Amino acid sequence: MAGGMFLFSAVDTHAKFLASSLHPVQITWSRQLGLLLGVFIIIAIKGRGVLRSKHPWLQIGRGAMAVFSATLFIAGVTYVQLADAIAVTFVAPFIVTLLGAAILKEKVGLRRWTAVTIGFLGTLIVIRPGFGAVHPAVILVLLAAIAFACRQILSRFLSGDDPVETTLAYTAITSVVLLTLPLPFVWKTPVWGTEVLLLVTMALIAACAETLVIMALEAAEAVVVAPVHYSILIWGTFYGWLIFDHLPDFWTVFGAMIIIATGIYTLNRERVVAKERSG
């Protein structure tokens, strides 16, 4: 999981660098090609049975959420510092809690609702609406986090019926198909050399990152490895400083620490509740 987060930060850095000259749809499409390549390899090894799903339309919906999440994030990170954008995406686990209670009818106790509230306040500290401290495009990043949370809810629903390989395959195929539709209207031929190299390496790194995360989730419970996701802020800050000479200010770091602390608490509560139910 730590390796996956390190690589995903590199993917985000590629995307931010490319967003100054290429459309977010084209960047996301290129990124998803790497995932599609990985799916073709899985199908070659395990056969076309990987594509059998008990809920194909929900799988397609999950793929659509992946498209919205990635495209909105890249559009937002064009104007927002990388560390700030990553910090805002940490609101996703709290949105998952809200949607889990509303849609999946999961029981959420007072302590978890308190954690959600405090985590939301941490997000407000990072964004600071009305103070002009962060570019308004941060709203796009927030919408990306909401789309990602919807994707996670669909993942929870599908996990009991479809294997990980099937979900991965539908996500890759759906996202590439959906992104190909508007691609001719935004396409700009990449400059041979730097842009082509960045697009290719971004796609390959994204495929490797997805694979590492899947391996982590197969080796251990999600609530055990999920807190490691927050290490992406460290790498995002590092890349932001190294490539763009950006460093988050005090309030961004302070708000991010609040979000991380409440997020880890929420994940720990999920683990405790899961043990109580099984025991």
User: How many residues does this entry show for the chain?
Assistant: 279
Q: How crowded is the C-beta side of 121, counted as CA atoms within 13 Å?
A: 9
Q: What is the mean pLDDT of the chain?
A: 84
Who's near 115: CB < 8 A, 6+ residues apart? 94, 262, 263, 265, 266, 269
Q: Is the pLDDT of residue 180 over 90?
A: yes
Q: Is the pLDDT of residue 274 over 90?
A: no
Q: Is the pLDDT of residue 132 over 70?
A: no
Look at residue 273 in the predicted model and tell me its pLDDT.
65
Identify whether the C-beta of residue 228 lies closer than 8 Å to the C-beta of residue 1: yes
Q: Which residue has the higher pLDDT, 201 or 255?
A: 201
The DSSP 8-state label assigned to residue 103 in this structure reads T
**DSSP letter string, 211-243:** HHHHHHHHHS-HHHHGGGGGGHHHHHHHHHHHH
Look at residue 84 in the predicted model and tell me its pLDDT.
83
Q: Is the pLDDT of residue 130 over 60?
A: no
Q: Place 202 in a pLDDT band, splitting at 50, 70 and 90.
A: very high
Mind listing the pLDDT tens digit for each residue in 35-52?
888 888 888 888 888 899
Mind listing the pLDDT tens digit for each residue in 215-269?
776 676 665 666 677 788 888 888 888 888 888 888 888 888 888 888 777 777 7
